[in-house]
Amino acid sequence: MKSHRWLDCRTRRCLLAGTVLALAAATACGQGWPVYGGEPGGGRYSSAAQVTAGNVARLGTAWTFHTGELGEGLARRDKLTFESTPILVGRTLYFNTATAIVFAVDAASGALRWRYDARINRGTRFSEMAARGVATWATAGNGPCSTTIFAGTIDARLIALDAESGQPCEAFGAQGVIDLSRGVRLRDRGEYLVTSPPAVVGDVVVVGSAIGDNRGTSLELGVVRGYDARSGALRWAWDPIPRAARIPAEAGNPAFGDVEAQAATWTGAANAWSLFSAAPEQGLVFVPTGSASPDFFGGERPGDNHWANSVVALDAATGVLRWGRQLVHHDLWDYDVASQPVVATLTRDGVRRAVVLQVTKTGELFVLDRDDGTPVYPIEERAVPGGAAEGETAAPTQPHSTLPALVPQGPVRADDAWGLTFWDRGRCADLIRSLRSDGIFTPPTVGGSIERPGYVGGANWGGLAYDPQHQYAIAVVNDLPMVVALVPRAQYESTRDSDAYPKYEFASMRGTPYGMRRDLLRSPLGLPCTAPPWGALVAVDVARGRIAWRVPLGTLGDMAWPLRFLHGSPAIGGPIVTAGGLVFVGAASDDYLRAFDIGTGQELWKGRLPAGGQATPMTYVLDGRQYVVIAAGGHAGLGTTRGDSLVAFALPN
């Protein structure tokens, strides 16, 4: 019977060949994970229910696979991460590493089927060393590349591989490869990357880019492009920053004046570096976009900067903008819309609505109508702090969801200072007094400002999981206030090269009057100056418009054993949810995968990982056994244990 059910899934997939609907069908009947978010809409929900609150304590390691990639020979080994979430096609898992190596492993045993190395230049100083997964596409045939694996690379290539053999698909692009660095105004080879999997809708492969966007004003263009899945021919390209003097009113965009239009001709970025979602039945792809360049000074890019910092719905076949909703105006805080949009159905007050859920770095959850982007929960334009630096014109208001905020957004005061001792608590209080802090959207200043939420979020690329039974949206969030200061151009190099700010990150922001320095608001001991929890798992009851529960996530035990008593560690990664009533999540700064009760948020189980689990897990049922799989390779920026493992957990046979 199991094989008959699988064959039925395969038959349905063939009937829908070449469409994301095929993957949705495979998910429904196979309890699989055929795309990054589990389903085209990115909800990260599985109907698998073998593992439940009653037996999750028996979950143990089923197998471990080692990629062998530990960063030898990399110019930026210090930035190496392992964030990939595998997808399941048939009986095989497919995933990639930050160094553009694609793997196919047996989903039941973890045995290697094939390995493809795209051979990046390991001496290039890439601005990021990350990859979050791959995508697949199927046709009705049985020959080479009838099922294709698509992977983006950090050296800006889109690669098509035969799922069976791992060999490049010769008919796609140039012998299986498209050079994405062409036509984007390339400035620096190591600063234009692809770090997230493409989205496949029908026979179109949609891909964005990651851009090192604090280097200056005139950077690479943040275009989103759609390619023919068979040939690799470019179907369309959409630029989040309009290059025309005025935007057509019929496109739903506000018109802006000649000054802003002139700046748009050379402003860069607003790139879509994170994860896309799709509504195949509507032919839509949903794209989250980042800030226009540079992040922390916008005097050279006046106006709201549409469609930066937005979620937009594009026609997947043509790239035409169907609707857009900007969630941060004229970004000065690196508040990219970093999380994958989630396509869902919401029943509220007895009315069913097709919606898109978007969580943000600002720690807010927006609920939008899927057809036209109108708010399901009202969005209010609220006045925000003024007093920006000379040459800057900050937006006077910012959009706020009327759902409760997922993280604190108020000012940080000296009375909020926290520390392990009286001494470091006092030093934190002194630091806080020296900085401007007026709550969310406090603009950067030369004297230094506190940014809360910080530029890692709120919610980052880990995004949401949506449980359709409870109508809960579950997110990993951080409360890590940051210090941001503008450095006048004449003082930038001497300040950067001095010993005054040893832990700060500096950015030149060429083409503006300022450079920038930023860091965690930290004590002399290196810990945050505000009290834990610094990381949490939050469930929003979307139907009722309330926080259902909030619990600290993880500890600092694996980073500093004496601090294991501090609950709620910084976290990078995302959750998934299952019909077994469980939320699975790694993400925290310790080396564990955890399971929580969906109804209460109670932690029910944690499984030891060989390294940090800064990735999003996935789950599937194969031969009657449910597996939960996560990449455990650590995260350079977070400082967690480094490794090269893909770990599968299951109940004992």
Strand partners of residue 485: 445, 517
d(CA 481, CA 503): 15
3-state secondary structure of 20: helix
Q: How many CB atoms lie within 10 A of CB 603?
A: 17
Contacts of 602 (CB under 8 A, 6+ apart): 551, 596
Residues 645 and 611 sit within 8 Å (Cβ to Cβ):
yes
Cα 492 to the chain's mean position, in Å? Answer: 31
d(CA 20, CA 285): 11
d(CA 291, CA 337): 8
Characterise 188 by phi-psi region: left (phi > 0), alpha (psi -120 to 50), beta (else): beta
Contacts of 401 (CB under 8 A, 6+ apart): 364, 365, 366, 367, 375, 377, 379
Q: How many CB atoms lie within 10 A of CB 181?
A: 17
Residue 334: active-site member: yes
Q: What are phi and psi of 151, to 5 degrees?
A: -140, 135
- Return the DSSP state at 274: S
Distances (CA, A) of 541 to 226, 481, 548: 35, 26, 5
d(CA 520, CA 131): 25
Helix axes 20-30, 2-15, angle to 10 degrees: 170
- Return the DSSP state at 638: T
Structure tokens that stand for 367 in this block: 């609920």
Distances (CA, A) of 380 to 398, 400, 402: 8, 5, 7
Strand partners of residue 162: 148
Structure tokens that stand for 53 in this block: 């609150």
Q: Which of 162, 331, 334, 467 is catalytic?
A: 334
Residues 373 and 313 sit within 8 Å (Cβ to Cβ):
yes
State the catalytic residues. 334
